[in-house]
Structure 1
Amino acid sequence: MYGWRTGAILWAEDRRVCCEGCLLNELIAWSGLWMTGSPRDFGLGEGPVIGLSVSPWDDKLIFSSIFLSQNTSYARVLAWMEKLAPFIIEEKIERVEQLAAELGSYQVRLLPLALRRYIEARLAVYASNIWAARRILLTIPHVGVKIAHAHLLFTMYSGFPFPVDRHLRRMVGGNPVLPDKRLCKSYPCPRCPHRDSCTVWRLYKMYGLRAGLYQTLVWLQSQTPSAKRRLLERILLT
């Protein structure tokens, strides 16, 4: 276990969400009580109500895990993070570089430079509005729109913008237009000249600030039954 409030315990009891070892604002963030919904709300069929879990206190870990998730499996990211997390938390980039050389995968080899730049920029990111924060994130080497949007979704209490992954593209159907990094660095979504063709904006117009929750539900529904069961064990159902 690693991260903020290591050892805290969350559980559901008689339609209540309880926590041992955390404060109320942390409970609300981690349980997802700040934004909840069910598949039925979005026309995705039946299913339990879930919350969109966020943790602004673990932003370095979240940035790193999202960065490592490019073109690989959830299991591999977990294995990498078990080794890297203590040094990410303590900002020991040289140790991250050493482990990256040992682990060998290209995602891990690219992480030290991106993480170093993120640590340098993180105070500016969280002192900014969400569009300025996105622009800063997109200046970090090897960070594209998908990584930037996922990081904002899980650290900044906002369901918009959100990442567009292959599962969401499949659900939208047709030939969905993905966000363009050049445009995302230049314009906030509401002022982008190409917003009406962009999948992110189209889903925002349909679901508002809950669009990020929609994306998360689509991703959950894409998992195999056994994988979904393991994932749901990590998510607090309300």
Structure 2
Amino acid sequence: MEAVALFSFTASEADEISFHKGDIIKVTEMEDDSCWVTAEIQGRRGYVPENYISLLPHPWFAGPVSRLEAEQRLRWQDTGVFLVRESESAPGEFSVSVSYGDRVEHFRVLEGGGQYCIWDESFCSLNRLVDFYRTHSVAVEKVVCFRDPPSPIKECPRLAHALCDYTPPQSAHLHFLRGDIIDLLDCSSSLSWRGRCRGRVGVFPPDYVQPLYH
């Protein structure tokens, strides 16, 4: 995943890396300790403080959702509709869940030396991997290319009511409490919406809220 630096940071330990505000940072691992992530900047790799960066929003990145929740989101979706999530079985790594039409398949994203792969092809970032499989089949037995979910026919609502608390560890995700009213900024994806609440902007799973159309 790619992130943008919100503030400049000067490393104080050998395993940390410095960066400047506005730098684009490649996040390679989401640590169990939510205060730090492993990242790479211009070939340098080390720890960076999680609250100094903001993950660039991608509708396909679902964050820390379970395998079961991924299947629930993708069930009945068209073949190829997918999401990238933090791996449930291997903390700090990523998995891809993709609809095969009649079922949902899961792929572990292997990472080594700053490269990501599902099969033989390797890529310098998750973004490049996703772009590749939009035009190349991720499946062996049939053609399954990544695709975004269809845009909803219904007009996007402007507001939503929070059905329960949502307290994500990532700064790019929107924190809210049950009962909050959220200003919706983008609800074009069925996997992740973007909104504003309590003065903050971020993404969140749409099944945590009830849209308000009036």
- State the TM-score, normalized to the length of structure 1: 0.27
Greater per-residue strand proportion: 2
Larger fraction in helix: 1
Relative to the length of structure 2, the TM-score reads 0.29
Higher RCO, 1 vs 2 (CA within 8 Å, ≥6 residues apart): 1
